[in-house]
């Protein structure tokens, strides 16, 4: 069993990871707000003399629209914070799993594999690209072993309603909402259930260094999600698009996950339909 450290441990993904690690017998150190800001080196000083075998670095700013409004904070936390974690790895000898995402932009081909050109198309994705570069530099020059996972769109119970699936479920389930309105019905994305993503994170502890896509291998449109949520909830409502496209919108993207299947011994187990049912069940339980 390993001594692990998880940044972003109280977040949507981190809280599930911590639970699974402890259930598997691993010792877990948690770092999350308001414990400290990982962009400040002094936040990590208390951990320099601890025995740490593996660090899962999940902490960071993630909401893409906010990155357009407040880019500086994203660079500060997502880039400098990652360098600080790499320094902790260098000084303690810990191995790193870094969670990246949103790096492929408008795809040149589908499905997207790990060799696809990287494209920075919003401040958030740019910070992830820079953080990945730092991971590779520390691996090559400071012998810090690292595995980079690139999850596509993670979802599941407990995800904030500001993310698409939570937003749709809340609008469908809210009896005061007559019509489900979204910005755009067309964009299609690859969705991976949080428990499946966390299984991949745990598998990364023993994986060969490298980059791995984590997704379902297929995409669903916003309209398809609305229809599935209504079907699963037994509710029928009108729905419509506001006709508003986000800056640099991408209209279809899904992952080639063959490398994760061979390199991590991983594949998704929860179907999209089952995942949506679990989200609806959790929403109803909490209301």
Judged on CB neighbours under 10 Å (0-12, 13-18, 19+), 140 is exposed
Using the structure block, give the residue that is written with the tokens 């964009």: 187
137: Cβ–Cβ under 8 A, 6 or more apart, which residues? none
Distance (Å, whole) CA 166 – CA 161:
4
* Annotation says 124 is catalytic: yes
Q: Quick one: CA torsion of 267, 269, 272, 275, rounded to 10 degrees?
A: -130
Catalytic residue among 124, 212, 239, 283: 124
- The DSSP result for 207-236, as a single string, is SPSEEEEES-SS-EEHHHHHHHHHHHHT--
Q: How far apart are the first and last CA of the chain?
A: 39
Catalytic amino acids? 124
């Amino acid at each position: 069993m390993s001594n692990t450290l998880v940044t972003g441990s109280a977040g949507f993904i981190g809280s599930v990871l911590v639970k699974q690690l402890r259930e598997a017998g691993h010792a877990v150190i948690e770092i999350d707000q308001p414990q400290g800001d990982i962009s400040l080196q002094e936040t990590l000083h208390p951990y320099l003399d601890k025995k740490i075998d593996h660090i899962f670095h999940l902490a960071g700013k993630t909401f893409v629209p906010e990155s357009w409004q407040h880019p500086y904070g994203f660079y500060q936390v997502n880039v400098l914070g990652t360098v600080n974690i790499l320094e902790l790895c260098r000084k303690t000898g810990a191995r790193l799993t870094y969670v990246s995402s949103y790096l492929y932009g408008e795809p040149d081909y589908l499905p997207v594999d790990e060799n696809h050109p990287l494209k920075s198309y919003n401040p958030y994705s740019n910070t992830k690209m820079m953080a990945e570069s730092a991971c590779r530099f520390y691996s090559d020059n400071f012998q810090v072993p690292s595995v980079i996972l690139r999850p596509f769109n993670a979802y599941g119970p407990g995800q904030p309603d500001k993310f698409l699936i939570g937003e749709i479920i809340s609008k469908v389930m809210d009896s005061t909402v007559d019509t489900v309105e979204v910005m755009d019905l067309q964009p299609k994305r690859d969705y991976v259930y949080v428990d499946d993503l966390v299984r991949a994170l745990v598998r990364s502890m023993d994986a060969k260094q490298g980059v791995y896509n984590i997704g379902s291998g297929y995409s669903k449109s916003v309209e398809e999600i609305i229809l599935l949520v209504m079907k699963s909830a037994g509710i029928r409502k009108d729905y419509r698009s506001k006709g508003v496209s986000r800056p640099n919108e991408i209209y279809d993207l899904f992952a080639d996950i063959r490398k994760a299947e061979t390199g991590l011994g991983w594949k998704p187990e929860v179907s999209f339909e089952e995942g949506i049912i679990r989200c609806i069940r959790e929403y109803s339980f909490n209301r």
